Amino acid sequence: MIGAGALGSNNAEMLTRAGIGELTIVDRDYVEESNLQRQQLYTEKDVAQKLPKAAAAEKRLKEINSDVKIHGIIGDANPEMLAELAKGKDLIIDATDNFETRLAINDISQKFKIPWIYGAVVGSFGMCFTIIPGKTPCLHCLLKSMPMQQGMTCDTVGIISPTVGMVTSYQTAEALKILVEDWDAVRTSFVSFDLWRNQYSSMKMTKAKDESCLSCGTNATYPFLEQENLTKSTVLCGRDTVQVRPPKQLQIELEALANRLTEIGYVVKGNPYLLSIESAKERIVIFKDGRALVHGTKDLTAAKTLYNRILG
């Protein structure tokens, strides 16, 4: 499960209650109050403790069904991590909020021949499509033949929780079909809907498959797994927040960093997973792997400047 936000938490709970054998959840963020409107695994206590979503989800899911093996991974789902996690997996579920990660998932799926289920939600609009390597068009193929975003983002229109439930119902149903290997029941069409406007469509996508596609074609090169195609800074959807990634993963001593920043006047709060660092005008959250979320801005340059000032 890539992402433990709205789609991820709903999918994860349904699959855990269904009793699947093992579930790995990757997420880069932590729980905030605004999440509680649509992310059903989390509570106000998780918000107060600033728990990473992957850690909070793991804890809650183990309380729901202790027979399921749950692994929460706090980090950014980059190609290197995805390639390592793909080993021995039967299925990948997309619960992220950006196309850079989705296209990396898509290339990992094609490279390792693992089915994955695309899902997206914005406002009252939702989409779902099941991608089977070697049989269906991949996401790269679809992007060439149809618009995927409809001109909306969670920044501009938000998300209503019933839409989340609808998309995850499609995703989890497809997941269960794949996990029990009922391949004849797997849906082959691209489903989209608008709950508010009472609109629904289901499109056959067979003709969208492109044999020249660099992700799934006869001479695939998996372009979205290459380092030069990855951004180091990303504006998080609907958050007025920039994520900054270091050039390579770090192992930060959080206590030592907290002590140093406290001495120079920052207000620092933390837990075993992260530090929340504030001054009169700035707020930044730093994880042990060196990633940071810079709040209150969508300016990539300003975010990088603050990151470098804090970590050097």
> Catalytic positions, please?
154
d(C-alpha 255, C-alpha 249), whole Å: 18
Sequence-separated (6 or more) residues with CB below 8 Å from residue 41: 4, 9, 12, 13, 56, 57, 60, 61
Q: Helix 161-179 vs helix 6-18: angle between axes, to the nearest 10 degrees?
A: 40
Calculate the CA 186 to chain-centre distance: 23
CA 177 to CA 139: how far, in whole Å? 20
What strand order describes the sheet that includes 267-270? 233-236, 241-244, 292-295, 283-287, 274-278, 267-270
Q: Report whether 36 contacts 6 (CB < 8 A).
A: no
